[in-house]
Amino acid sequence: MGHGCGHNTIAAAGLGAAIAAKRWLADHPGTAARILAVGSPGEEGGGGKAYLIEAGVLSEVDAAMMVHPTGANRVHMPSLAREAVEFVFTGVPAHAADTPHEGRNALDAATLALNAIGLLRQQIRPESRVHAIITDGGQAPNIIPERTAIRAFVRSPDTRYLTDRLVPAVHDCARGAALATGTDVEIRRSAPAYAAMRSNAVLAELITGTLVAMGREPGAELPNRAGGSTDMGNVSQVVPSAHPLLELVPGVTMHTHEAAEAAGAAAGDQVALDGATLLATTTIQLLTEPDLLRQAKEAFAQE
């Protein structure tokens, strides 16, 4: 819960929806359907759903849904394609006061790389994002750092721009920094790539109706908003998918102390209950009118 993104309500909503839809199935014995409630770790950092897809979890799935809390009710989650990269710089240690000239400073390399990325930001498309932290900043102040590490997320709504232009440019920032400091850099992808979210129009229409019916009128869509990234984007490339957002606290920003507190209080419980209702209702609609599922698949094929 301290992660501050309300993921406790996501898990509860998904499980609640599955329990409700299963009861509905028991009351309608003629319905040939299976419902999967899939627990998925590492939504933001680790790409849990990418591994689940690879393992075949979606192989017999017709449509997929999840719900996430945020500061407003929305039918679509705006999301960016994302690459997670790690740079590890290796230098030569030396005594920082006695023989600094004999060292090669891996922290200088990390500093230069971050500055190069900062300057690069002026030359990238406005909706792109590059953000980084230093995960290893050296060993001790009196030692020229032998090893440093940076983790960065690189994002864009355009997957091709991301992979062909942006990620190579960020890699070059690290290579240039290594060259300038006489250190070595190892570049690796630290998590599976995230695809941008494709919202299925047919599922979105059903969700809009239910949101209105439950008094959660969806806010205006923000087409130019960058948003975050989610491994639900990877799911949405494989099967028709929906990723609505439910208001936790009006206008709240996730990953704040306020969001963490609300997710553990009454507002979080309400999101879990309403999320379960929303996903269960959509599931039951798809089971009641099989033509909807056909339409959703058609829309998916045409996207």
What's the chain's length in residues? 303
Q: Estimate the share of the chain in helix, then strand, then coil, as percent rounded to the nearest 5.
A: 45, 20, 40
Q: Does 5 bind Zn ion (CB under 5 A)?
A: yes
Position with the least CB separation from Zn ion? 5
CB nearer to Zn ion: pick between 178 and 254: 254
CB nearer to Zn ion: pick between 5 and 166: 5
CB nearer to Zn ion: pick between 5 and 286: 5
Nearest approach, Cβ of residue 227 and Zn ion (Å): 11
Within 8 A by CB and 6+ apart from 226, the residues are: 78, 80, 127, 129, 155, 157
Record the tokens describing residue 278, joined without a space.
């929303």
Record the tokens describing residue 246, joined without a space.
């439910």
Report d(CA 193, CA 120) in Å as an integer.
Answer: 21
Q: Does 81 bind Zn ion (CB under 5 A)?
A: no
Q: Does 207 bind Zn ion (CB under 5 A)?
A: no
Report d(CA 102, CA 231) in Å as an integer.
Answer: 46
In angstroms, the Cα distances linking 128 to 80, 132, 148, 232, 254 are 8, 14, 26, 19, 20
CB nearer to Zn ion: pick between 206 and 254: 254
Q: CB-based burial of residue 242 (10 Å sphere; 0-12 exposed, 13-18 middle, 19+ buried)? A: buried
The site for Zn ion, by CB under 5 A, has a size of 2
Report d(CA 171, CA 30) in Å as an integer.
Answer: 56
Q: Does 260 bind Zn ion (CB under 5 A)?
A: no
Nearest approach, Cβ of residue 230 and Zn ion (Å): 7
Q: Does 245 bind Zn ion (CB under 5 A)?
A: no
Q: Does 67 bind Zn ion (CB under 5 A)?
A: no
CB nearer to Zn ion: pick between 79 and 181: 79
Segment near Zn ion (CB under 5 A), from 1-9, 133-141, 215-223, 240-248? Answer: 1-9
CB nearer to Zn ion: pick between 5 and 211: 5
By CB under 5 A, what part of segment 157-196 binds Zn ion? none
CB nearer to Zn ion: pick between 144 and 254: 254
Q: Does 113 bind Zn ion (CB under 5 A)?
A: no
Question: What are residue 162's phi and psi, to 5 degrees?
Answer: -60, -50
Nearest approach, Cβ of residue 70 and Zn ion (Å): 9
Nearest approach, Cβ of residue 226 and Zn ion (Å): 14
Q: Is 205 helix (H, G, I), strand (E, B) or coil?
A: helix
Q: Does 246 bind Zn ion (CB under 5 A)?
A: no
Would you tell me how many other CB atoms lie within 10 Å of the CB of residue 288? 12
Question: What are residue 80's phi and psi, to 5 degrees?
Answer: -110, 150
Segment near Zn ion (CB under 5 A), from 88-96, 235-243, 252-260, 282-290? Answer: 252-260
State the residues that interact with Zn ion by CB under 5 A.
Answer: 5, 254
